[in-house]
Structure 1
Amino acid sequence: MSLHDRRDSIPSGYTEIGVASDDTILHMRINIAMGNRTGLEDALSTANIQYYATPTREALHSVRKWLSSNNINSQATTVSGDWIKFNITVGAANTMLNAKYTIFEYTASGKQSVRTLEYSVPEDLQEHIKAIHPASSFYHSSGGRVISITGHHHSTGSASNGASEDASSSASSSTSAAQFSDCNATVTPACIQKLYGLPTKLVSSKTNSTIGVSGFLKEDANKADLTSFLKFFRPDIPSTTTFGTELLDDATNSQDLADAGLEAYTIGLANGIPTTFLDVGNVNLDGFGGFLDIINALLAERNPPLVLTTSYGGDESGLSERLAFAMCDALMKLTARGVSILYSSGDGGVAGSRLNPECNDKPFLPTWPACPYVTSVGATGNIPEKAADLSAGGFSNQFGQPSWQQKAVATYLGKIGNLYEGKYNRSGRGYPDVSAQGEKIQIIKSGGVEAVEGTSASSPIFAATIALLNDELLSAGKPPLGFLNPWIYANPEAFNDITSGSNPGCNTEGFPALPGWDPVTGVGSPNYPAMKKALGLS
């Protein structure tokens, strides 16, 4: 056996509780090396995904033979070609991986995880196995969440008197549409449409543009709240407009108002573009499994949504580099299907996915995913726009800078000189890529109007913008945008450049927003007319 992965110490905030019981069940996944990863990366071609991504016959046979020798036979299932998943007891996993699975508790929440700080695989499988999970990757919960969520969302006030079965009438009893006319006080769909020049006309019922919205942790998409939201904030959209639901990992998408989530802005801005809520249950209590299940489920579909927005994430340090790269490869395969993938960048400024005092006077904390195939969305506030303090941004410690952003990042680093030298990885992938409004966002949740903030509001807003552009592209007989990042950096004039504000954290003022790309707001916020021009649509 050869050591395959090791974490040198228990992550900050965790305490070792004791050895895990041998009969504890682990939902295990093994990622097998693609047959030709470089070919897929170069081609990013829908027609050739399986050709490039499927492991070699030797790799798949060798790994299955090893599993069989450990009594894992017919239960092992191959998913999306290069992943195998199965259930295994801790006792069997300890033997198979020469590991010591242990119970760890995240002190702030009391949530427990079963992990091992190191594991091994047979030497002849080293080249075939990319990553195994759960093993040495950790996520911690915040506010009852399974993982470090990027915002979702910090409440900044409420304009309602409480829950009601008809939120629109409840809202109107204490508020009126006129109260939301000041876009520096309350950000509504009308404010966003005006600010970014978004179209207001409903799309054709024959549109081929589609959106997928990820949901985790029983934060469900509530149809009553959506109806009320449309009646109150978008009366021009039929209040009967709804969404499709795809249930994963034993999710139920409860319609109890107490379980309602906060993703109405996707539908509220998309003018009738079909939207699917991808609801992930709590089978995978480690957090990571749900992210992977969404990607693999979409890869298996003939026509996956053309835009996927996810308002959840974590700190990069929680994932082993092996697992981070394996997940990034899964995301790369989805972009090869023509899907634009957006994730919120996080709400902790340079302190990571959420404001973390543990990094004071220490290096900045990058957020996950910084995968180059993800478009990371930061947050702005106010009109004229400035960077929102909460907007997480910085540089990855795991992924290098892709060619398409090297010039923009080098220009920024040249401007700031030796500012915060040693606190971040100057050669790392910079994020976010873009930004959108993320403060004072008006929503209806559990029957009442609330103001919320977070990059987890910004990502759905940007996703709706891309979906609207896709509608116009497809109507003109052109392909959808697909993988966004190279196009974004090649067309900075298509965005509103944000040049003021910063993202404080770790006992610093954070990175300053400057002309051009910056690690607070990316290349800027949407400018729909300019985006259309860059795409040859006007």
Structure 2
Amino acid sequence: MRIASCGYFPYSYKGSRRRASPQASPDHRPSTLEEMRFTPVFLHLFMLLSSGVAAQASYIPHETRSHIPAGWILARRYETSELLPLRFGLKQSNMDRLEEMLNDISHPESPNYGNHWTPAQVAKTFAPSHETVTTVRNWLIKEGFDAKRVKVSATRGWIQLNATVEEAERLLKTQYNVYTHQDGEQHIASNSYYLPKHVSLHVEIVTPSIHFDSVLRKRGGSSVPAKKIGLPGVGITPKTTGTIKSLWDELKNCDQFITPICLRVLYGLVYEPLAASKNSFGIVEYTPQAYLQSDLDMFNRNFSTALVGKSPKLVSIDGGIVQTIQSGFDYNGESNLDLQYAMNLVNMFGDKQEVTLYQVGDIPQGASFNNLLDALDGSYCTFQGGDDPFQDGIYPDDYPNGYHHPTDCGIAKPANVISTSYGYNEADLSPFYTARQCAEYAKLGLMGVTVIYSSGDNGVAGNGDLCLNTDGSQTDSGTIFNPGFPSSCPYITSVGATQVNPGAKVTDPEGACEQVIYSGGGFSNHFPMPDYQKKAVGNYLKIHRPTYSPEIWNATGTSRAFPDISANGANYVVAVDGKFSRVFGTSASAPVVGSILTMVNDARLAIGKKPIGFINPTIYSDFFSGAFNDITSGGNQGCGTPGFTAVPGWDPVSGLGTPSFPKLLVRWLLLP
């Protein structure tokens, strides 16, 4: 079977002549150009070919991938008769003003601080224009597709066209191939695609196309669950050094065993909720990750007896289920860690503050970050067009025990603070894909939601300890720093990891985490530096600029830097499957920061003020100077280097430092 390279074009659009039909005989063709000029048939063909060349010459590359992601191999050409559900993500309005609009309600010096938008305002402001919808729709119809096949989504954000592979390849001047993963799963993708220049201006992304991530669809009725972000070994996952023989819950042992009391002393979190009924805190988990109630109770019998028997409030998204089929640290460690500490830290003495669990994806298919966003914001929901069936969970899922309903759309009110301890490598996804998703986090910020992501556990390397090569591929032998996503999105708060240094007291300054894991941090290859970072990161680059060759890191000084802040990520005591284990990871740091910010919200709500929403412009402002514990020791090695080093001020290891709850509380209470 012939496997053609991606980027195949049935007809050249670069001005070369189309080859003659093999059935044509030279004896029957005009012998001179003069004769050809007077041949009516030739004139007709010449006009058709000329118009075709002119039309195709207007095509420009829209997205291109230079390599196949790690773990995948090219298997074969996709059958041209197969059906592809093409989705065209339309260019949203006012995206050039997104940062300005978000700063307007998030910067402490703005007169509009805290004036969060309604979902209706967000949907109206960013909806694609009539011109955009019309341009793309008319192009598809002009290309020969019946108007009934061209469907505009209810939100007018997407256009759907069910096309054969042959039609899609002609339309996008590309070729679709089948790729096989090392675990046997398959994926359909191209390496590039093209759009007419006038259409490209109105399209953000086309799916399926060049995108790969860790959500793999089941194929051919296989009984093996699809691989997705929640499966062991995918994305950011906590690490363990094994079970703990003797349990210690004393402040003198915080360098070996982190328990809730250690965290309360480290960050001054002494606070009892006053407005719990008005407040909300969400923890996100992706099936098959699941907590065990018996483990929650075991943890709470030791650290918070008032919470024994208490469960998080479950919000099931796309069939999300707290599964009990598979167990062990790989399946229960993440969710147990997040919920045990989140529920404890927001309830110092009782059980007033409820914690919401967003459990995303059914067991057979799983889900992606887009599935969560669909459920939180109806204007993002892409039912009848949008999510990529080859990387996002697509519902209804006809697999046995699957979720047999349409994609959950706008079903869940976003919590005031949402913490997620999962992530991809930025290089796993295209700039268009990450940009569209990142904009959705900004929209949540406009609505007053604080979105937190852990920064990664491999220092300057990506998940799986993979680093970039010069061709953009990722391998464990790569030498180029590999930033993570969504941590590189400027509209979320990225959280790195620190540690109580071995032999140190809990009251001593922490250092960057260098036990078992290394705090993820660095500079984005997709996103520019936001205004709120320019002063802090500019000072870092001016005073402590790394001496590495610019060939191995983004040394431009104009890219989004992360993490923003950090919290302890070493030696956590976590109940897993009836035993206590010692756990490490930024997976622990994120819910700790989320808990602290949730208590800040409680204090504001108690005096009639609004939640803090998107915090980055605030925490980087001069008004919040000194509100974080500066981390000045340790580094985040990776890619065969020592990585970056923690220094005074912001750094790409610990960000601005760890939170001081009393200082943050005072400052946020003084804001409108």
TM-score bucket of the superposed structures, by smaller chain:
0.7 to 0.9
For residues 276 and 25 of structure 1, the distance between their equivalents in structure 2, rounded to whole angstroms, comes to: 39
Cα-to-partner distance string for 1:372-397 (whole Å, 9 max, x where unaligned) = 10111100111431101311100001
Task: Give matches, 1:105-116, under 5 Å.
Answer: 105-107=180-182, 109-116=183-190
- The answer to whether the aligner puts 1:15 opposite 2:132 as a matched pair is no
For residues 145 and 352 of structure 1, the distance between their equivalents in structure 2, rounded to whole angstroms, comes to: 19
The alignment yields a C-alpha RMSD, in angstroms, of: 3.0
Q: Whose radius of gyration is greater, 1 or 2?
A: 2
Task: Give matches, 1:188-337, under 5 Å.
Answer: 188-201=259-272, 203-204=273-274, 206-235=276-305, 237-256=306-325, 258=327, 259-260=331-332, 261-262=335-336, 263-264=338-339, 265-271=341-347, 272-281=352-361, 290-300=368-378, 301=410, 303-337=413-447
2:497 touches 2:654 (CA, 8 Å); kept in 1?
A: yes
User: In structure 2, do the counterparts of structure 1 residues 439 and 336 end up closer, same or farther at CA, with 3 Å as the change threshold?
Assistant: same
1:104 equivalent in structure 2: 179
Which one-letter code corresponds to 1:375 in the other structure?
T
1:381 touches 1:437 (CA, 8 Å); kept in 2?
A: yes
Which one-letter code corresponds to 2:259 in the other structure?
T
1:5 equivalent in structure 2: 63
User: In structure 2, do the counterparts of structure 1 residues 110 and 177 end up closer, same or farther at CA, with 3 Å as the change threshold?
Assistant: same
Worse-matched range after superposition: 6-15 or 72-81: 72-81
CA displacement at 1:157 relative to structure 2: 1.8
Cα-to-partner distance string for 1:248-274 (whole Å, 9 max, x where unaligned) = 233323245714333212222122432
- The answer to whether the aligner puts 1:59 opposite 2:132 as a matched pair is yes
For residues 327 and 320 of structure 1, the distance between their equivalents in structure 2, rounded to whole angstroms, comes to: 11
1:248 touches 1:279 (CA, 8 Å); kept in 2?
A: yes
For residues 453 and 84 of structure 2, the distance between their equivalents in structure 1, rounded to whole angstroms, comes to: 28
2:21 equivalent in structure 1: none
Q: What SS does structure 1 have at the residue aligned with 2:463?
A: coil
Cα-to-partner distance string for 1:444-482 (whole Å, 9 max, x where unaligned) = 223322111111111111111111111111111111110
Q: What SS does structure 2 have at the residue aligned with 1:49?
A: helix
CA displacement at 1:31 relative to structure 2: 2.0
Worse-matched range after superposition: 109-118 or 253-262: 253-262
1:249 touches 1:290 (CA, 8 Å); kept in 2?
A: no
Which one-letter code corresponds to 1:154 in the other structure?
K
Worse-matched range after superposition: 514-523 or 206-215: 206-215
For residues 185 and 449 of structure 1, the distance between their equivalents in structure 2, rounded to whole angstroms, comes to: 14
2:581 equivalent in structure 1: 450
Q: What SS does structure 2 have at the residue aligned with 1:477?
A: coil
Which one-letter code corresponds to 1:242 in the other structure?
S
Q: 2:642 aligns with which of 485, 500, 509?
A: 509
2:531 equivalent in structure 1: 403
1:193 touches 1:200 (CA, 8 Å); kept in 2?
A: no
Q: What SS does structure 2 have at the residue aligned with 1:207?
A: helix
Q: What SS does structure 2 have at the residue aligned with 1:46?
A: coil
Q: What SS does structure 1 have at the residue aligned with 2:241?
A: strand
Which one-letter code corresponds to 2:123 in the other structure?
Q
Cα-to-partner distance string for 1:39-74 (whole Å, 9 max, x where unaligned) = 443223514312321111222244445567646958
1:6 touches 1:136 (CA, 8 Å); kept in 2?
A: yes
CA displacement at 1:33 relative to structure 2: 1.1
Worse-matched range after superposition: 350-359 or 392-401: 350-359
Q: What SS does structure 1 have at the residue aligned with 2:580?
A: strand
CA displacement at 1:353 relative to structure 2: 3.0
User: In structure 2, do the counterparts of structure 1 residues 256 and 284 end up closer, same or farther at CA, with 3 Å as the change threshold?
Assistant: closer
For residues 529 and 581 of structure 2, the distance between their equivalents in structure 1, rounded to whole angstroms, comes to: 39
CA displacement at 1:100 relative to structure 2: 1.9
Task: Give matches, 1:172-183, under 5 Å.
Answer: 175-176=246-247, 178=249, 182-183=253-254
2:399 equivalent in structure 1: none
2:485 equivalent in structure 1: 368
CA displacement at 1:76 relative to structure 2: 5.1
Q: What SS does structure 2 have at the residue aligned with 1:308?
A: strand
For residues 356 and 56 of structure 1, the distance between their equivalents in structure 2, rounded to whole angstroms, comes to: 41
Which one-letter code corresponds to 1:270 in the other structure?
V
For residues 391 and 185 of structure 1, the distance between their equivalents in structure 2, rounded to whole angstroms, comes to: 18
User: In structure 2, do the counterparts of structure 1 residues 21 and 313 end up closer, same or farther at CA, with 3 Å as the change threshold?
Assistant: farther
For residues 364 and 442 of structure 2, the distance between their equivalents in structure 1, rounded to whole angstroms, comes to: 22
Which one-letter code corresponds to 1:14 in the other structure?
W
Cα-to-partner distance string for 1:72-98 (whole Å, 9 max, x where unaligned) = 958957375534568766555445433
CA displacement at 1:220 relative to structure 2: 1.9
Cα-to-partner distance string for 1:105-147 (whole Å, 9 max, x where unaligned) = 344x4543221111233444211110123321223589x9635
Q: What SS does structure 2 have at the residue aligned with 1:151?
A: coil
Q: What SS does structure 2 have at the residue aligned with 1:536?
A: helix
Which one-letter code corresponds to 1:398 in the other structure?
H
1:485 equivalent in structure 2: 616
Q: What SS does structure 1 have at the residue aligned with 2:253?
A: coil
CA displacement at 1:25 relative to structure 2: 6.6
- The answer to whether the aligner puts 1:529 opposite 2:662 as a matched pair is yes
1:78 equivalent in structure 2: 153
1:138 equivalent in structure 2: 212
Count of matched residue positions in the alignment of Structure 1 and Structure 2: 518
Q: What SS does structure 2 have at the residue aligned with 1:349?
A: coil
For residues 549 and 655 of structure 2, the distance between their equivalents in structure 1, rounded to whole angstroms, comes to: 20
Task: Give matches, 1:464-483, under 5 Å.
Answer: 464-483=595-614
1:168 equivalent in structure 2: none
1:70 touches 1:96 (CA, 8 Å); kept in 2?
A: no
2:275 touches 2:602 (CA, 8 Å); kept in 1?
A: no
- The answer to whether the aligner puts 1:413 opposite 2:523 as a matched pair is no
For residues 431 and 452 of structure 1, the distance between their equivalents in structure 2, rounded to whole angstroms, comes to: 23
Q: 1:385 aligns with which of 487, 507, 510?
A: 510
For residues 219 and 25 of structure 1, the distance between their equivalents in structure 2, rounded to whole angstroms, comes to: 33
For residues 267 and 25 of structure 1, the distance between their equivalents in structure 2, rounded to whole angstroms, comes to: 47
For residues 525 and 411 of structure 1, the distance between their equivalents in structure 2, rounded to whole angstroms, comes to: 19
For residues 326 and 283 of structure 1, the distance between their equivalents in structure 2, rounded to whole angstroms, comes to: 27
1:492 touches 1:523 (CA, 8 Å); kept in 2?
A: no
1:497 equivalent in structure 2: 630
Cα-to-partner distance string for 1:264-315 (whole Å, 9 max, x where unaligned) = 1222212243222222226996x8x621121232123584211111111111
CA displacement at 1:523 relative to structure 2: 0.2
1:397 touches 1:425 (CA, 8 Å); kept in 2?
A: yes
User: In structure 2, do the counterparts of structure 1 residues 55 and 458 end up closer, same or farther at CA, with 3 Å as the change threshold?
Assistant: same
Worse-matched range after superposition: 183-192 or 112-121: 112-121
For residues 128 and 424 of structure 1, the distance between their equivalents in structure 2, rounded to whole angstroms, comes to: 32
